[in-house]
């Protein structure tokens, strides 16, 4: 599907997807992978954290997250250690499991796309302000954000 806004052949685009463990973020990633990202583009997964949230509590191996089930990945593939770019200051600790699952999904769907993960503390800024700041810093060509819709209830 050609949407008409692709850059000329040979030039790479940077696509940023705001990443969190929600269904909406997973849907945004799916859309980006299958409709927006082309060969050799760069995909940046941006995860915003509140100060002090850098190491969330671990789930037990017997209780996979909803996000892992949504991606249909067995826990053994998701829990493999993956290096990431951590701009939240200090430390090289492994990220939350859902970020590793998102990276694995990207690499499976688009093997030639360079995937980076960036974890950023919000530091008192609003979420939208921080997202736009990071998009400008990385000279992003396309920003993809999941949308949460309100339920329409039962129709009937």
Q: How many CA atoms, within 13 angstroms, populate the side-chain half-sphere of residue 13?
A: 16
Q: Which of 12, 18, 13, 39 is nearest to 147 (CA)?
A: 18
pLDDT tens by residue, 120-137: 998 888 999 999 999 999
Output the pLDDT for position 105. Answer: 96
Quick check: pTM over 0.75?
no
Question: What are the boundaries of each domain within the chain?
Answer: 14-53+63-144
Query: Lowest mean pLDDT: which of 48-52, 80-84, 116-120, 142-146?
Result: 80-84
CATH architecture group of domain 14-53+63-144: 3-Layer(aba) Sandwich (3.40)
Compute the average pLDDT of residues 9-28: 91
């Amino acid at each position: 599907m050609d949407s008409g806004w692709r850059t000329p052949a040979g030039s790479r685009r940077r696509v940023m997807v705001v990443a969190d463990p929600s269904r909406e973020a997973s849907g945004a990633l799916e859309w980006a992978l299958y409709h927006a990202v082309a060969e050799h583009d760069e995909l940046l997964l941006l995860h915003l954290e509140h100060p002090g949230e850098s190491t969330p509590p671990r789930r037990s191996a017997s209780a996979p997250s909803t996000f892992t089930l949504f991606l249909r990945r067995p826990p053994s593939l998701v829990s493999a250690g993956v290096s990431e770019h951590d701009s939240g200051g200090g430390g090289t600790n492994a990220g939350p499991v859902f970020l590793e699952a998102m990276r694995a999904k990207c690499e499976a769907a688009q093997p030639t796309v360079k995937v980076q993960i960036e974890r950023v503390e919000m530091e008192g800024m609003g979420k939208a302000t921080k997202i736009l700041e990071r998009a400008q810093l990385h000279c992003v060509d396309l920003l993809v954000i999941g949308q949460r819709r309100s339920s329409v209830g039962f129709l009937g």
